[in-house]
Each structure stands twice: as C-alpha cells, then as structure tokens.
A and B are shown apart, each in its own frame.
Chain A
Amino acid sequence: MDVVNQLQRQFLDYSASLHREGFLDDQFTQLQKLQDENSPDFVVEVASLFFEDCEKLINNMARALEQQGVDFKQVDASVHQLKGSSSSIGAMRVKNVCIAFRSFCEAQNREGCLRCLQQVTHEYSLLKNKLQTLFRLEQQILAAGGSVPAIE
C-alpha cells in the first residue's frame, strides 16, 4: 500500500508539475476523465495518435520549407492541423508555438517559419518524453495494484 501511495503521490506531483510548467492544460484533464472501464487506455491511445500525427506533420513542414519556392499554404494547413491536434489533447505549449507559426506563415516569413519549426520540434520532443514518463508511472501504479488517482 505504501508503494502504491508513494507512486500515486509521485504521479500527482508529476502531473501537477506538468500543468504548472504549461506542458499540459485543462483539456488533458478532461481526457483523463473520459478514461473509464470501457476505455481504460483512452489517454494512451490518444497520445500515441497525437505523436504519430505530430511527426508526420513536422516532416511535411520541414520538407515544404526546404523547397526553393516555399508553398506557404501547405505549411499553413499543416500547422493548422497540428494546432488542432495539440489543442484537442491539451498540449498547451505546442499549441502556442503553432499560433506563432501560423502568423509567420501568413506573413510568408521563411526564417520565422523555420525558427518556429525548430521550436515545435523541440516542444514536441519534450512533451513526448514527459508524457511517456507519466504513462510509465501510471503503469507502475496499476502494476502495483493501485488505481490511478484522478486529477482535480
């Protein structure tokens, strides 16, 4: 029991820190609320889908920006998708970068776009790491026989 409690406390602290640092926002909490007996791995599934999507989009964007004649429309579409995905999952930081990215796209500023792309990639990898850590903690709790505490 102690272990479970400890793990649970760790989990909560980590969650709180993620929220505090702005990696995640309220939407993520909502997602966690949706997880129940019927869909126990809902959050993990959504997160993996998000990561896949993200990588694909980032690659698209990088390729588009490498071209001589940059097709800003395409880049914009990709950024929009990314923004939608990140807001759906609650990845606040990524979403904020996307917003800045979009304005650069509208201004057709290649340098700005490249900078944003770098930032997005950085944020995404950070988030990925953090979420993976969080999920690992969850698994550990479940393995120890406890239940994942709900975050208020």
Chain B
Amino acid sequence: MSGCSDKSFHLIRVGTMHHRPLIDGNVSGCLGVLPSHSEPVNSETNRTTSSCSSFSGTAYFLSALCVYISSFLLPFSTKTSSRINRDRLRLSNWESFAIKLLKGQTLTRYVKNKLELRWVLVQFGAFIVLCGATHLINLWTFTMHSRTVAMVMTTAKVFTAAVSCITALMLVHIIPDLLSVKTRELFLKNKAAELDREMGLIRTQEETGRHVRMLTHEIRSTLDRHTILKTTLVELGRTLALEECALWMPTRTGLELQLSYTLRQQNPVGYTVPIHHPMINQVFSSSHAIKISPNCPVARIRPAGKYMPGEVVAVRVPLLHLSNFQINDWPELSTKRYALMVLMLPSDSARQWHVHELELVEVVADQVAVALSHAAILEESMRARDLLMEQNVALDLARREAETAIRARNDFLAVMNHEMRTPMHAIIALSSLLQETELTPEQRLMVETILKSSNLLATLINDVLDLSRLEDGSLQLDLGTFNLYALFREVLNLIKPIASVKKLHVSLNLAPDLPEYAVGDEKRLMQTILNVVGNAVKFSKDGSILITAFVAKAELLRDPRTPEFFPVPGDNHFYLRVQVKDSGIGVSPQDIPKLFTKFAQIQSTAIRNSGGSGLGLAICKRFVNLMEGHIWIESEGLGKGCTAIFMVKLGIPERLNDSRLALMPKVPPNHGPAAFPGLKVLVMDENGVSRMVTKGLLVHLGCDVTMVSSSEECLRVVSHEHKVVFMDVCVPGMDGYEIAIRIQEKFTKRHERPIIVALTGNTDKVTKEKFMRVGMDGVILKPVSLDKMRSVLSDLLEHRVLFEAI
C-alpha cells in the first residue's frame, strides 16, 4: 500500500519534474552552476511546485507513513512465518495433514512461498532505502540545484518506482498465502490444544492403571479375606477420592445383603437389605459398574447430608462357591452369589463418574473376586487339614484304646489262666489223694464223681483259654527239638489204662523212615494226638484202635479231598502223617463238616453221654493249622467206625558241627558233683579269698583249675588247653577288658580260644555292654553258688555263649 502511494506519488513527481524546464541541465551538469538554474526553476515552478508540492507533500506524508507501518508489519509477518515454521517443525506428525489441508498446496509451493517471503522482505528493504534516499535528495531541490542532482534524483525515483512496482506485484502474488498462513496457524493451534487434551487423558489413564496395579498387588499380597477387602476399600477410596465405600455380602440364607465392610464408618452395623431390590438386581445382572440413585437402600448408609449427595456407583463382586469351582466354568459362574460394592463420590462436589473410573472399579471388582476365591480355597484347605489332624488324633486315641483293651484282655487271660487253674489243681490233687485213703463205697463213688467233674472242668478251662488265645492269633508255637518216638510212646502210655478199662486194644505203628528227632511244638503236638486218640477211645465201645505214623510222600501229599492244602516238601522239613482208626460209632457223612466247629455237638445221645464240650477238635484243627498242616475225619457212616487223619509240618533238626561239642557230650544238669570232669579252666582274681572260693567251686565240679592273680600272669599262662577263663573284673583300676582283648588276640583261631567269663559284683547296663563289646562270652554276678556255676558251665559249653547269669 505504501508502495502504491509512493509509486503514484513518484509518478506524479516525475510528471512534475517534466514540467520544469531543465535549461541549464546539459550545460552545467558538472559545474553545478546552481544559481543560473535555480532561479528560473524557482520562478516557473513556484506555482506548479506549490500545487504539486502540496499534493506531493501529502503523498510524501502518506507514503512515509505507509513505509513505517510496513516496516513494522514486516517483522511481524516474518515472525508469523517463522513461528509457523517453528510450529511445523514441532508438529512433524501433523505436518502432512496440515499441508494437505491447505487446499492442496504442494511442498514445492511451500518452499517457494518461503523464498518469496524473503524476497519480499528484501524488496521492502530496498524500497525503504531508495525512498528514503529519494526524499533526502529532495532536500537539495528546495534551492537551485544542478542538473546532476536532478538526474540523481530522477534515477533514484525511477529505481524506487521500479522496486515498488515489483514489490506490489509480488505482494499481490503472496497476500493470499499470507492469509492462508494465518488460517493454518489457527488450525495447528487447535490441533495442539487437542493433543494436549489427549495427553492429559493418557496421563490420567496411566495414573489409573498404576492405581489398579498397586491395588491388585495389595489385594494379591495377602490370603486373608478381611485384609483383602479392607485393603480394597481403602485403596479404592484413596485412588478415586471417594467419600464412602462399602461392601455388602449376602447372608447365609441368601435373601439379604448384609453390610460387612465400610471405609469410613468404623463399625459396620450389620445393617441388612433384602436382596430382591430392582436396583440391586439390575446391578447383579450386569458385569459393569452401574450408577445407582443415592436413594437406593444400599447407598443410604451415611447420615443424610445437608448437601447434594455425590453420585453413587455399584458393582457386583462374584463369590465363587467352592464345591462348584471348576476351571471350565470360570466365565459363566455356576452359582449366582454376588456381593455388592457401593462407591460414593464426595457429596457436594461437582464430580461425575468418568468412564475410566468405572472401568477401574470393574477391574478391581474382578480382582477382588479372584482374591476372595483364593482366600476361600485356602480357608477350606486349612479347615480340611485341621479336620484331618483331628481325625488323626481321634484315630490314634482309638488305636491306643484298642491296644489297651487287648493288653487288658491278655492280662486278664493270663491272670485267669493262673487263677482258674490253681483251685482246679488243688481240687484235682486233693480228690485224687482222697481216693487213696480208706473210703466207704458211697464215699468212693462221690470222690470219683468229684474227680471226673473237676477233670472235665480243668480240661474245659484249658480248652477255653487255649482257644481264646488261638482265636486272636496270639498263640505262637514253642519250637524245639524233641524225640518223636518218645512222644508217641508217651501217648500210648497215657491212653493204655483207659483203653484197657474199656477193653479196647490200642496198637502203634511207626514207620521205619520216621526220623527220631524233629523240630516243632512238642506239647501241642502231643495235645493234638492225645485229643484225637482220646476221641477214638471215647467213641468206641469195643474193638481196637490203630495209630499209624509215617512221613508223607510227595505224591500222596496232595489229597483230592483237600484241594486247598498245598504242602510243599523241602530240605529241612517233612510232613508227619498220623492216622487213628477206630471201630466205634462212626460219624454220618453230613455231620463231618460240623465236627471241627466250636461247641457243635453231634446230635446223638450216645455221643452226648460221653461228655466233652466239643472244643477238642476245634482246638486240634487250630493247632494243626498253626503247624501248617491239615486234619480231617473219614467215616463210612454210623456204626462203621471212623478214621482221623492229620498232617503236620515238622522241621528236621540240624546236625551239631562243632567239634568241641562233639568231644563234650551234652550233660544234663544236676547230675552229680563231677559234672565237668577234666575241664581245664583258668581263674584270674586278685583277691586271694575269692580266688580260693572260685577254685573250690570249680574243683568241686570236677574241673582242673589253674589260678593266677594278675593280668600278666594270666596272659603268660593261658593256653589253648584252657577251655574257660574266669576273670574277676570288679576291682576298680584293673582293666579286665584289656586282658580279654589281649587273650583274643593271642588266639587267632576261634575254636582255640577259651571261653572268657567275667565275674563281677556290679551289673549295671554299662558294664554289661562293655563286656559284650569287648568280646567276653559271659558275665556272672558274684557271689556264685554251686548250682549257678554248674548251670553256667553247662550252658557255656553247649551254646558257647552265655550273656548273663544273675
């Protein structure tokens, strides 16, 4: 604009200059003859000059004004452009969008605009300079001036005009761009503001996320239900700046919601609300947090405020019921038990529930549900474990009680055993003694009856006691080596008198391959045989009884009638088979199975009259079973007699291998003073008196005694001839143990070594253990009696070891 006015002004000016005749211009250009030139100029141009000058004066003023204004404006425009540039650089991601928006301008256009702007700037500068120069030169034209000055003036004006023309043309070109720059700027400012808003939102969300994480962490860091819920409420209250936060749990009946936890109120009142409220149902049916009215009964837990209550939101918290807890069911819960969490914003504030806050609440509710289920599982498992422990304790107690009961029963049996047998024994003994004396026939009869009855009773007691022990399986066989032949002979001797009274003939047939000695329970085997033979005698009125005993052969072991019996022959045992055949009443086939049952009697008067309790065979069967055998009865029928057969497993005794023992036959004890003729023994004792006493003892028993009184002497004298060394070790300070060790070292071969026995006055456990550890074969407590010494020696020589003889 300024350029325009200036330009027009200069056009005018140039026109004005044409009016002035430049007479002396050519002549005195260089010389500057001013006065000649100035005068005509002044006179002629005064009129035109004054009119023109007034016009040009205003034009000058206007143009100057415009120039200054433009000079002020230019920096601003440059500033704007540069600011736009700066903005463009910062919002690089908006750059393309902004550019596209500017009515399809291309990048090259943009660059060109930039250049053009600079160029305009330059032009304006040039214009200002030239204009200023023109006006300055004009100062010289007030007075007479030379042609040169006029020429310069004109040139300057021409240049100014040219520049202003170009500038104007350029400006025409650029102005729309400048205008649009302004709109771009506005647009970008809006975008920046929007972005700031977005940033704020993101930050808020991140903050919320952090709160959620912290909350979750707090919730998950404990397995205690109360802590979880309390923490949830506290943290939620803090995060969302709530006024009140409450948790309502369903009651056991499921019909009401009970206020369980609150944030601000210290004591939840136990206030209940019926569960079937439309608002509550609405909340329960959706998995989102739902805004509810502050008038809802669940939201009315705080005192009625004077002000506007804040907004209330409720969310459901699913409670998982453990019995229905299945992983597959997790999203759709199989039970619809929910708790309700109610959150209230502070009253009297203009706060609203934002979406992100609602989301936070939902997330928290889910986390709480999970944490609660974990806690519930833990509680359940703890409870189960406590229950198991209680059960264990109860079981343990029951077991101990049972053990006590068994012990008591056994004690009772043992006592009763003894208590019952003693009077029986007395009765039987005295009645048999009575029988020996002088009696009238009636008295004799009476005594006989008493004797018979008491015998019966004694047998019954024995049977019952044995049976009860057999029943509970506590009976164990007393295994020992015994003479089979002797056993049978004894049975025969016992049964012969009774049989001869009944005029029965008893014969015993022992197979030649039957071993002389066997290993088994002698007493019970005898009891069994006696019982069976006794039965045979009892149930036969006349005829004969045949007892056969032989070793059962392998092929005959498997009896087709007893398929469940699988005897296995082996190297160190054999099966003894005993058959007792009688010619008595016999048994009918259908009664045979009943024979071995307890207390079962064959319903036949003849048999019943013979007496018996029916326990005998049952006990026999049990004994036979204990001996890993089998017993059965064969009979062809009533009146045709019967055969009782049983097989038992007996062991074969080992051969005695010890050469020493072969030299020394087993001497039964109490066989007279010279029990151990020629047995060389060594006695070591410091005390003269006790040494002499021990020697006396052993000499009396027939031993050849060597006496030593010190350990060195003992070691010197001991030789393989000495069979036994008696060592007195009760003197404190003397190390009998060492001597024992040294003796052992002296004899490397075990069978050459003498038996070492310690004689001591104290028998505490420590000493005994010490002896055993050192390798002593026995310990005898002083003082030793003759009998003790005798039995000790016999034991020692037989078994080679005797641990203790008190």
Interface residues of A, Cβ cutoff 8 Å to B: 26-27, 30-31, 33-34, 36, 38-39, 42, 45-46, 49-50, 53, 77, 80-81, 84-85, 87-90
CA A28 – CA B274 in complex, angstroms? 103
CA A147 – CA B692 in complex, angstroms? 24
Residue contact B688 to A53, C-beta cutoff 8 Å: yes
Residue contact A34 to B697, C-beta cutoff 8 Å: yes
Residue contact B690 to A80, C-beta cutoff 8 Å: no
Residue contact A31 to B733, C-beta cutoff 8 Å: no
Of the candidates B673, B686, B730, B783, which one forms a contact with A30 in the assembled complex, judged by CB atoms under 8 Å apart?
Answer: B783
* Chain B: interface residue total (CB-CB under 8 A): 21
- For B498-520 the 0/1 string (1 means CB < 8 A from A) is 00000000000000000000000
- For B679-695 the 0/1 string (1 means CB < 8 A from A) is 00000001111101100
Residue contact A88 to B693, C-beta cutoff 8 Å: yes
A119 to chain B, nearest CB (A): 20
B789 to chain A, nearest CB (A): 9
- Chain B residue at minimum C-beta to C-beta distance from A25: B783
Residue contact B689 to A53, C-beta cutoff 8 Å: yes
CA A64 – CA B42 in complex, angstroms? 172
Contacts of B732 in A (CB 8 A): 77, 80
- Chain B residue at minimum C-beta to C-beta distance from A88: B690
Number of A-B pairs, beta carbon distance below 8 Å: 68
B748 to chain A, nearest CB (A): 34
Contacts of A38 in B (CB 8 A): 699-700
CA A34 – CA B790 in complex, angstroms? 12
CA A39 – CA B731 in complex, angstroms? 28
CA A105 – CA B732 in complex, angstroms? 14
Residue contact B783 to A87, C-beta cutoff 8 Å: yes
Interface residues of B, Cβ cutoff 8 Å to A: 673, 686-690, 692-693, 696-697, 699-700, 730-733, 761, 782-783, 785-786
Of A38, A84, A85, A90, the most chain B CB neighbours within 10 A belong to A84
Residue contact A81 to B786, C-beta cutoff 8 Å: no
Contacts of B731 in A (CB 8 A): 80-81, 84
CA A88 – CA B732 in complex, angstroms? 17
B720 to chain A, nearest CB (A): 27
Residue contact B693 to A84, C-beta cutoff 8 Å: no
Asked whether A49 and B733 contact (CB < 8 A) given A31-B696, A34-B697, A88-B783, the answer is: no
Residue contact A42 to B696, C-beta cutoff 8 Å: yes
Residue contact A89 to B689, C-beta cutoff 8 Å: yes
Contacts of B786 in A (CB 8 A): 30, 33-34
Residue contact B730 to A84, C-beta cutoff 8 Å: yes
A42 to chain B, nearest CB (A): 5
22 of the cross-chain contacts (CB-CB < 8 Å) are A30-B785, A31-B696, A33-B700, A33-B786, A34-B699, A36-B700, A39-B696, A46-B689, A46-B692, A46-B696, A50-B689, A53-B687, A80-B731, A81-B686, A84-B761, A85-B688, A85-B689, A87-B690, A88-B687, A88-B690, A89-B689, A89-B693
Residue contact A85 to B687, C-beta cutoff 8 Å: yes
- Chain B residue at minimum C-beta to C-beta distance from A52: B688
Residue contact B693 to A31, C-beta cutoff 8 Å: yes
CA A27 – CA B784 in complex, angstroms? 8
